[in-house]
Amino acid sequence: MVIYLDVLLLENFIVNTFLIFLTSDTLKIRAKKLNVLIGALIGTLYVITILFKSLNVFNNIPVKISMALIMILISFRKKNILFNLKATAIFILYSMLLAGLCIFIEFNKSGGRLDYGIIINFSYKKLMIALMVIYLILRRVVFFIKDRKILNNYIYGVEIVLDSSVKKIRAFLDTGNELVEPITNLPVIIVEESLFTREEIKNYKYYYIPYNVINGSYGRLEAIKPEKIMIYKEDSVEEKEALIAFCHNKLSGEDDYQGLLSRGIL
């Protein structure tokens, strides 16, 4: 029997990734892709124990269950014991169902055989792998579309009216942003500084807004009070009184928005 190790490892890696994501979807838990890939890789390396008789000591049920638990721990990084046991049980269940499906198809088709726990010349193997790859791709596309839909629900059109210009931006409603100017108690909209020129804002009085974040860092933001702020959402428009604070960095890597609305502005 000839086994191509690279093909065997690649196929097992795809299967493990598929099973972990399927477990993730069942539990409705979103795992980090890098963690899932590392967990799948660990499980893929374990398949080598099947190929060498000297490693058969690791090819027993307790070790297999332990390996499944290790893959779950690496993929989800949860400290909850009950969650890890539940996820491991679901992962093993899906593995058994997939293996049973493959054996069922094998025994009902000619041209293949089962040696040492490995299905040889399995005519449907490429089809199964292709379906798993399609599932992983479609899963990512669906999550991307859902994320974009949720993101768009929190994005508003904002018109900032200055004495010499008007800036139209897209701003994200940050529910954790409670910035207000301490004296006037006006809400603060954080906007990318690169959108403004010094000439446009040089005649405005500057406010300094203290802030702090969860990681303990703190500082002050420079802000101005424009002539008027208009907020657009679907068919409605509202005029608001607020300060514009300047941020030196880009707020969205994909440039989906250029400002952050505080919770108190709506």
Q: What is the pTM of this model?
A: 0.50
- Predicted confidence at residue 237, as pLDDT, reads 85
Cα separation, 255 vs 20, in Å, equals 32
Q: Which one of the listed residues 6, 147, 163, 174 is annotated catalytic?
A: 174
Q: What share of the chain is helix, strand, coil (3-state, %, to 5)?
A: 50, 25, 30
**Hey, how many other C-beta atoms are within 10 angstroms of the C-beta on 17?**
23
pLDDT, one tens digit per residue, over 190-213 is 898 888 888 888 888 888 888 777
Percent of the chain with pLDDT over 70: 85
Residue identified by tokens 């398949």 is: 47
pLDDT over 60 at 138, yes or no = yes
As a whole number of Å, the end-to-end CA separation of the chain is 69
- Smallest Cα–Cα separation from 106: which of 126, 94, 92, 120? 120
CA dihedral 170, 208, 240, 202 (to 10 degrees): -80
Q: Residue 155: helix, strand or coil by DSSP?
A: strand
Residue 242: per-residue pLDDT: 87
Instruction: Return the higher-pLDDT residue of 114 and 127.
Output: 127
Whether 157 contacts 233, CB under 8 Å: yes
pLDDT at position 3: 63
Q: Is the pLDDT of residue 155 over 70?
A: yes
Nearest to 224 by CA among 165, 175, 150: 165
Q: Give the range among 137-141, 218-222, 244-248 with minimum mean pLDDT.
A: 137-141
The answer to whether 102 and 110 are in contact (CB under 8 A) is no
Residue 180 to residues 166, 184, 201, 216, 217, Cα–Cα distance (Å): 23, 8, 20, 19, 18
Segments making up each domain of the chain, as ranges: 5-151, 154-265
pLDDT at 127 over 80: no
Report pLDDT for 38: 93
Full strand arrangement of the beta sheet holding 228-233: 207-212, 218-224, 243-247, 188-192, 259-261, 166-173, 155-161, 228-233, 236-240
79-111 pLDDT, tens digit each: 889 999 999 999 998 888 877 776 666 666 555
Could you give the CA distance from residue 46 to residue 87 in angstroms, rounded to a whole number? 19
Using only C-alpha atoms, what is the Rg of the chain? 28
Q: What CATH code would you report for 154-265?
A: 2.40.70
Active site residue 174: yes
Sign of torsion, CA 101 25 19 143? positive
Residue 36, phi then psi, degrees to nearest 5: -65, -45
